[in-house]
Amino acid sequence: MLRAISYIADYSDLMPDAQRPPRWLSPTQMKAWRAFIETVGDLTMALERDLLPTGLTVGDYQVLVYLSETPDQQMRMSDLADRLQLTPSGLTRRLDGLVHHKWVDRVPSDRDRRVTMAQLTPAGFAALEAAAPVHVESVQRRIFDHLGTEQVRHLGTAFTAIAAGLEKASS
């Protein structure tokens, strides 16, 4: 996963070389890029708006999902920050609301007392269970209801390839 700090990097490989002309987008690439960039903000806002009645943001929901997927429903704060692509202070801000609602606790690690863990609480699991049907219906309605089976397959393949390229570029 890309770390937020990885954005501070050497971008010389992205700068046009005097010997190499820029690689302009083809009409098909431009159409795909514009569709993506003009839709992603609206889609994110729609998903956020749909989740609002549950008291969670999409970011909060993501934290609860990640914690719920671990065997002991807890993660090292640094690992959770990496997974969410947040800085440590960004994760602290994200968790503050979840801790306030008693959906997540910050607890010392059993293995290393210097390490702080984010722990999903029973109330947090209940909040996730209540929000999941709302969120899944939102995802279905906002995304998958507009796509055929083959388009969904292609979408998954495309984003898997993009994620692999980003991972490779960050290492």
Q: What is the pLDDT of residues 92-147, one digit of tens each?
A: 999 999 999 999 999 999 888 889 999 999 999 999 999 999 999 999 999 999 99
Domain boundaries, given as residue ranges, for the chain:
49-136
**Cα separation values, 46 from 11, 73, 127, 139, Å:** 33, 29, 20, 10
Residue 148's pLDDT band, with cuts at 50, 70 and 90, is very high
Identify the CA nearest to 59 among candidates 36, 85, 40. 85
Please state, in angstroms and rounded to a whole number, the distance separating the CA atoms of residues 105 and 7.
Answer: 29
Residue 168: the pLDDT is: 87
Q: pLDDT at residue 6 above 90?
A: no
CATH number of 49-136: 1.10.10.10
Taking only the tens place, the pLDDT of each residue in 46-90 is: 999 999 999 999 999 999 999 999 989 999 999 999 999 999 999
Whole-prediction pTM: 0.82
